Amino acid sequence: MKVLDAQFMKGFIRMANDGWEQGWHERNGGNLSYRIKKEEIEAVRGELKADAPWQPIGTSVPKLGGEYFLVTGSGKYFRNVILDPEDTTAIIELDAAGTQYRICWGLAGGGRPTSELPSHLMNHEVKMEASGGKHRVIYHAHPANVIALTFVLPLKDEVFTRELWEMATECPVVFPDGVGVVGWMVPGGRDIAVATSALMKKYDVAIWAHHGMFVSGEDFDLTFGLMHTVEKSAEILVKVLSVRPDKLQTITPQNFRDLAVDFKVTLPEKFLYEK
């Protein structure tokens, strides 16, 4: 089968384009990666190269040794993924030690995998373990409302989680574990990857102050939906704070506890503090 005919490729392209249409990917902003299933990689094996040079990842992800990923390219625009996926994305293979990668397909006009490859792969490693292998998608975007909130809310997991939960009743059901926040750091390297993947042990969402958001999920629908839900909630919060900073009424800690019972989710009490 041709890579471009594979269902995982079609899902990846659709998600990248949906993110572009949401306005989350100015210029080359954001990146997306998918851990390809064994049977999916076997189905496209005939089109894969196995002679490209090995390159350093910039960190080590030993539990991902031998895995294949579909990733967006560094400097490529989400806007162009739907037009030319073969130039804007790549399939990469990791070596057995999980310290090097090589390009097996894509980046037709040259280039490298996403500049955030260390964060993507360290998040994949953590989430693969934490989810018993279910999580396969890591997504980084620059949604404006979440970024705006990192200038006006304390950069604390408890505050962001609680404020976002309060803005839409579905939120504690969609991200019951909450969200983590990383203070401003230089992007692209190992340090921010270590900080982000530490949060991903507990959460499916990590917010990068004054930069954007990382989310993790099982498939394209769940992962895109998670980004969308968090950003929608942030948009409501920006509107509320703009109209009147002191809410007249809201969803209370007891309301959240009642919701948790009916929707069969566990909501950590650390987010249900009295204000």
The one-letter amino acid code at 189 reads: G
The helix (run of H) or strand (run of E) holding residue 114 is none
- Around Cβ 157, how many Cβ atoms within 10 Å? 20
Please say whether the dihedral angle defined by the alpha carbons of residues 230, 140, 71 and 197, taken in this order, is positive or negative.
negative
Tokens describing residue 204:
């499916």
Residue with Cβ nearer ligand 2HA (32 or 272): 32
Q: Is 58 in the site for ligand 2HA (CB under 6 A)?
A: no
CB nearer to Zn ion: give 85 or 212. 212
Interface with ligand 2HA, residue 31, by CB under 6 A: yes
Residue with smaller CB distance to ligand 2HA, 44 or 59: 59
Catalytic option among 67, 93, 116, 163: 116
Residue 235 falls in the annotated catalytic set: no
Residue 110 Cα distances to 74, 88, 90, 256, 262, angstroms: 10, 9, 10, 50, 52
If binding is defined by CB under 6 A, does position 30 make contact with ligand 2HA? yes
Interface positions, 168-197, toward ligand 2HA (CB under 6 A) = 187
φ, ψ of residue 215 in degrees (nearest 5): -135, 155
Q: What's the rounded Cα separation, in Å, for the pair 177 and 108? A: 40
Among 55, 115, 131, 255, binds ligand 2HA (CB under 6 A): 115
If one asks whether residue 22 binds ligand 2HA (CB under 6 A), the answer comes out as no
Total of chain residues touching ligand 2HA, rule CB under 6 A: 8
Q: Which does 28 bind (CB under 5 to 8 A by kind): ligand 2HA, Zn ion, none?
A: ligand 2HA
* Rg over CA atoms, the chain: 19
253 binds, among ligand 2HA, Zn ion, none (CB under 5 to 8 A by kind): none
Residues that bind Zn ion (CB under 5 A): 212
Q: Annotated active-site positions, please?
A: 116
